[in-house]
Amino acid sequence: MHMNFAIAPSDPTPIYRQIVEQVRRQIAGGVIGPGKELPSVRAVAQEHAINPMTVSKAYSLLEAEGLLARRRGMGMVVADHPGQSDNAQRQSLLRPSLQAAAQQARQLGLTAQAALAQFEECLKETHQEERQ
């Protein structure tokens, strides 16, 4: 399985946290399910030119939360019962990103309508990329 991480080195959020949040969202959203293998620490580190310890830290945190499990010969996989992935949990995972985007829109002087139009366009682009 090839899992794409969107790592933003210039983001003030630490890289390991970016990885943790992306995996949480993909599990909560049902994008990756129980038993699904995650890319190796080395593969993620090489692909994004980051320290392997950063990836290892992210995976270890997710394992401690019960979202991931180590499988001999496979590496890290999504745990058999990674917790509830209900709508409220998915929304709570999205909220911090939306709050940051709302603050940026306000600082740029955008109306709510203009910001929502941008968000809808981003969603459409993301869905098109997933289909390719």
CATH code of 59's domain: 1.10.10.10
75 exposed, middle or buried (CB, 10 Å; 0-12, 13-18, 19+)?
A: middle
Tens digits of per-residue pLDDT, 61-93? 999 988 999 988 888 999 987 555 456 666 777
Claim to verify: residue 49 and residue 95 sit in the same structural domain: no
Is the pTM of the predicted complex or chain greater than 0.75? no
Q: Which residues of the chain have pLDDT under 70?
A: 1-2, 82-90, 130, 132
pLDDT of residue 76: 93
Claim to verify: residue 19 and residue 49 sit in the same structural domain: yes
Sign of CA pseudo-dihedral 95, 99, 101, 102: positive
Claim to verify: residue 124 and residue 73 sit in the same structural domain: no
Claim to verify: residue 69 and residue 110 sit in the same structural domain: no
pLDDT of residue 18: 96
Quick one: how far is CA 17 from the chain centroid? 9
| Burial letters 83-95, b for 16+ CB under 10 A, else e | eeeeeebbeebee
Claim to verify: residue 19 and residue 52 sit in the same structural domain: yes
